[in-house]
Amino acid sequence: MRALVSTEGKTAQVKDVPISTPAEGEILVKVRHVAQNPTDWKAMRAVPPGRIIGCDFSGTIEDPNGSSWRKSQRVAGFVHGTWAEPMRGSFAEYLVTEKDVVYEVPENVSWEDAAAIPLAFATAVQAMEQRLKLPEPSKPTKDSFPLFINGGTSSVGKYAIQLAKLSGLFVVASGSKKNHELLKELGADACVDYKDEDWPQQVRKLTHDKLEHAFDCIAEGGSVEKITEAMSPNKGGHTVTLLPISDETKKTFVDRNPKLKLESTIVYTVFGRELHYGVFDNQGAVSPRPSVSMIAYTNESVAMPWRQGSLGEMFIAASRATVLEEDQGKQNQVYGRGSGRHLKRLRNA
């Protein structure tokens, strides 16, 4: 098969490579479409030659390998691109992945849209449900409280806004002024322009100095430091980022307010493998059994939950779905091709 493979010189080339054979608990997928994320080119520059690039995909089951999936069934998901043992990568004609981390794609959802959902959506869920411990959409809070999402127009940010709104939160999102209408359409209650020097003060005013939860989908260019200014001066709060944070920046957080907590997250930990990514937070030995529901991919995981307006069904293991979570991890910045507007589209399917 043809695949985009890392080569010498921190680049990649399309090469002919053998089609992997699925092991027990794995399936073989014929890839139809893929989605690009910044993690793809970052990984390409960091791994040795011979690794397959890419994470997001949609396609059809080529070999169910004894699972409950059927040959030619439409599915989508994401893999840990450039991983070596077992070999993983989606920018190829075929890929092998765990049988329980793909979802069925309804006929009314395009290959392109299906491929753009998995990684960005899972990243948003991981940051908000596992890290920030926010209410799930299936159990929305009755006492709304504020959440600030920095980078609301990123792919992850767009999913985060919708999840937060469905969870009953008061959502404040950042984005350029020209995109404020889009952010509000997705569910943001208020918006700030990141180009304004005083946007942290605007956030404090909008949240009445009660902001205790923030999700930074940018995590560079001084955004983390700015968020410290927006948090509650009395209660502090918890910020999760998609990029690693230096010890110096963390110290700045604590110096400004000892009640502030800052950590990064990475979606790859959902696969339950031990990771070693240096300075990133939430890493450690692999958990023997994933413990917290992240995404339940069932045979109706896309069509039915959205039509019923219940995102919570995506967080409950059911049917043939085994839900993967994590207890350790590195961050993964994901705001690229995916539009992040698919939740609304699929809810109306």
Within the chain, strands assigned E span 2-7, 11-16, 26-35, 56-63, 74-78, 94-98, 102-104, 146-150, 170-174, 190-192, 213-216, 237-241, 260-264
Mean pLDDT of all residues in the chain?
83
Q: Does position 335 have pLDDT exceeding 60, yes or no? A: no
Instruction: Report CA-CA distances (Å) from 224 to 172, 188, 192, 253, 312.
Output: 16, 20, 16, 9, 30
Mean pLDDT of 99-126: 94
Q: Which CATH superfamily is domain 117-349 in?
A: NAD(P)-binding Rossmann-like Domain (3.40.50.720)
- Model confidence band, residue 302 (pLDDT cutoffs 50, 70, 90): very low
DSSP secondary structure letter of residue 233: T
**237: pLDDT strictly greater than 80:** yes
At residue 349, does pLDDT exceed 70?
no
Annotate 169-186 with three-state secondary structure: CEEEEECCHHHHHHHHHH
Cα dihedral 318, 118, 343, 199 sign: positive
147 vs 313, more confident: 147
Q: How many CB atoms lie within 10 A of CB 249?
A: 16
pLDDT at position 10 is 93
Residue 346 has pLDDT above 50, yes or no: no
Pick 337 or 51 by higher pLDDT: 51
Instruction: Report the share of the chain in percent with pLDDT over 90.
Output: 69
**Strands of the 170-174 sheet, one edge to the other:** 190-192, 170-174, 146-150, 213-216, 237-241, 260-264
**Residues pairing with 76 in the sheet:** 58, 103
Each residue of 210-223: pLDDT tens digit?
Answer: 999 999 999 999 99
- pLDDT band at residue 256 under the 50/70/90 scheme: confident
Using a 10 angstrom Cβ sphere, with 0-12 exposed, 13-18 middle and 19 or more buried, the burial of residue 251 is exposed
In the chain, domain spans? 1-112, 117-349
What pTM was computed for the model? 0.83
Max CA separation in the chain (angstroms): 59
305: confidence class by pLDDT, cuts 50, 70, 90? very low
CA gap 349, 344 in Å, rounded: 9
The top-level CATH class assigned to 1-112 is alpha beta
CA 243 to chain centroid, in Å, comes to 12
DSSP 70: -
* Predicted pLDDT of residue 319: 21
Structure-block tokens of residue 310: 């219940």
pLDDT computed for residue 255 by the predictor: 83
Greater confidence (193 vs 330) lies with 193
If one compares 272 and 348, the residue with the highest pLDDT of the two is 272
Region 63-86: what's the mean pLDDT?
96
Cα end-to-end span (Å), the chain: 35
pLDDT band at residue 35, thresholds of 50, 70 and 90? Answer: very high
Q: Identify the pLDDT of residue 285.
A: 53
Check residues 43 and 339 and name the one with the higher pLDDT: 43
Amino acid 291: pLDDT: 31
Average pLDDT for 173-197 = 97
Say what the pLDDT of residue 286 is.
53
